[in-house]
Structure formats: C-alpha cells, structure tokens
Homo-oligomer: A and B are copies of this chain.
Amino acid sequence: MAVFFRGSQNLLQKLKNHVSFANVSSRAMASKTPVGFIGLGNMGSHMAKNLLKHGYPVFASDIFPESCKEIQDLGAQVLDSPAEVADRADRIITMLPSSPNVIEVYTGLKGILKKVKKGSLLIDSSTIYPSVSKEMAKEAEKMGAVFMDAPVSGGVGAASSGKLTFMVGGVEEEFTAVQELLTCMGTNVVYCGEVGTGQAAKICNNMLLAISMIGTAETMNLGIRLGLDPKLLSKILNMSSGRCWSSDTYNPVPGVMEGVPSANNYQGGFGTTLMAKDLGLAQDTATNTKTAIPLGSVSHQIYRVMCARGYAQKDFSSVFQFLREEENQ
C-alpha cells in the first residue's frame, strides 16, 4: 500500500517528540482513561488495535458481531450501542463508511448523543460531506460535547502499521487532546481549521491527485507514441515543470518504477472505485458551493466509466492502461 501523505521534516518534529512521549507513557497503562471506538471495519479494526497497543482501555461497538469478537479477544470491552459507549467513555472515535452511517451513529435512537457526557471529545475519522460534519458538531454542541472531523489518508496498510495521516477540523483548543489519541494510529496529524475543514482538505488533495494521475497517464502515453522511452520521459518530467507525485513517486507506467501498483499489474494501492467515491464528494461539494472544477469533473467521469468497464478493483493508476490503445486494434 502506498503512503498517500508524507510528512515534511520541519512540520513533523513536534509530532515525533510527542510520539516519544506517548511511548514512554504507554508503559504506565493504568493511568490511561478509556477511549470509545465505533466502527470496526477494515480500517477501524486496525485503528482500535493500535489504541490497545498504546495502552488505552477501549470500549468498542459495531453492528457486526464478528467484528466485535476479534477486538474483544484483544482486550477491548464490547458494548451494545453507540449510546452505551458514550455512557462509559468521554473520548470516542468513529470510523464509518459514509454520511448516513455517521448521522445514525451520532443522532440515532441509540446514538452517541443520547447518552454523551458533557465535555466529551468526539472524533470522526469517516470520509463524509463537510456539511454533515458541521451538522454533527452543532448537535454535539447542544449536548455540551465537542465534535471534530479527522479523516485519514493512507489505506489499510497504513492503518495496520499506525502510519495514517489525519486531517483535523474543529475547535483549535481541543487539537492537543486529539493529537494525543491520533498519534497512536498515525504519523501525521494536521490541523486544518474549523470543523469540516479536515474533510475539505482530504477531498481537495484527492481531487488534485486524480487530475495529475490522469494527466501523467495521458502524457506518458503520448510520449511513448512519439517515440520517447518512458523512463527517460519520466526523468525529464521530474526535473521539469511537469513534475508531480504521480510522475515521481507513483508512476502509472509499468517498468518505470519499482514497488508501485503499476509494477504489479495494478494490484493493491488505492482502488478506482474509492477514487470515484472521493471524486463524487468533491463534485457534490463543488456543485453546492457553485465552484467550477472542470478537470475534477472530467476526472470523476473517467473514473466512473472505468468502474463500469472492469477497473473498479484495480489501483487508480490503471487509468494509463484504460486510455492506451490495445495492441491488436
């Protein structure tokens, strides 16, 4: 799995110091107060395990009993509903598939807000609409709690190894408290501004990523047709103004780089269907704010057609293959 977010030396110093501190303090487990965790899917289960590893008692909940079983065996206490988690822990992390799930888990009949304690810190790491994050923050505030959005970048591999990046939106005063928990699960925790801006940052990054990936794919394709060696073209782009992450770190052309999905038949990495989902969020958000995103829109459509044509599960860099004329045409 590729890491989609890299820390710059200067920004990370503080975080690294904090991680050292966390390691020290993790020896003194007894003193740690419990953390709630709701949503034990592919990502969430790894994240909850990393909390346990760092010595936090975890109260967990999920609608699928089998997901609960695994974490229970590792020492977490499983509860029946988000409401009960809120009754037992005043710091809760949620990791859910999409906006409607978040709404249900927070404001549903057995939702967090039914039993949330005053002063609780609620951190949502789901990737959802910024507007839903804002709505949840308002509802939490009515109950005297604080809601922050903290979507992740990095995939299942990074979740497992504790190397996620978190983009955090919400009241700045709570950021230190948020950092304490999130650094157990990730190497970068970036403060983005008021609630919803974590989502906004993630959406923006992934939209530009999609655009530059498709751009790199069609540029490499054109260059190859014009007689350029792909490795050489890639070198020229990377020392020039065409340089981008998709050309210098995650090149979509087989044979140009090692250790990226294009070197492995586009297996692993970040699936086309996930990129299409994120571009859908960008599209809706742009439509609602009346923002023109011409290349973002076309990129969205290209990934949508790719999903329809059998590329849904391949890495999103497979757009190089999709655009290229087949040999025997």
Contacts and interface: CB of A to CB of B under 8 A. Distances in A.
A286 interface: yes
A27 interface: no
A200 to B, nearest CB: 4
Identify which of A211, A250, A295 gathers the most chain B CB atoms within 10 Å of its CB: A295
A226 B285 contact: yes
Contacts of A232: 192-193
A280 B291 contact: no
A8 B238 contact: yes
Contact of A298 (B190, B289, B295): B295
Nearest to A238: B8
A194 B295 contact: no
B222 A201 contact: no
Nearest to A215: B211
B209 A242 contact: yes
A218 B326 contact: no
B301 A329 contact: no
A227 B293 contact: no
A246 to B, nearest CB: 8
A295 to B, nearest CB: 5
Contacts of A236: 167, 190, 192, 201, 204-205
The number of times this chain is found in the oligomer is 4
A308 B324 contact: yes
A300 interface: yes
Contact of A326 (B216, B308, B324): B308
Interface in A292-329: 292-302, 304-305, 307-310, 312, 322-326, 329
A282 interface: yes
A251 to B, nearest CB: 12
Given A194-B227, A201-B223, A201-B233, A293 B301 contact: yes
A193 B229 contact: yes
Contacts of A296: 215, 218-219, 222
A228 interface: yes
Contact of A200 (B227, B241, B307): B227
A267 interface: no
Nearest to A153: B240
25 contacts: A192-B228, A200-B228, A203-B222, A204-B219, A204-B223, A205-B237, A205-B241, A206-B241, A207-B215, A207-B219, A207-B242, A208-B242, A215-B215, A218-B291, A218-B294, A222-B282, A280-B288, A283-B297, A291-B304, A292-B325, A294-B323, A295-B295, A295-B299, A297-B301, A310-B326
Chain A to chain B: the 10 pairs with minimum beta-carbon distance, closest first = A244-B244, A211-B215, A200-B226, A208-B242, A308-B325, A205-B242, A297-B297, A225-B289, A208-B219, A292-B304
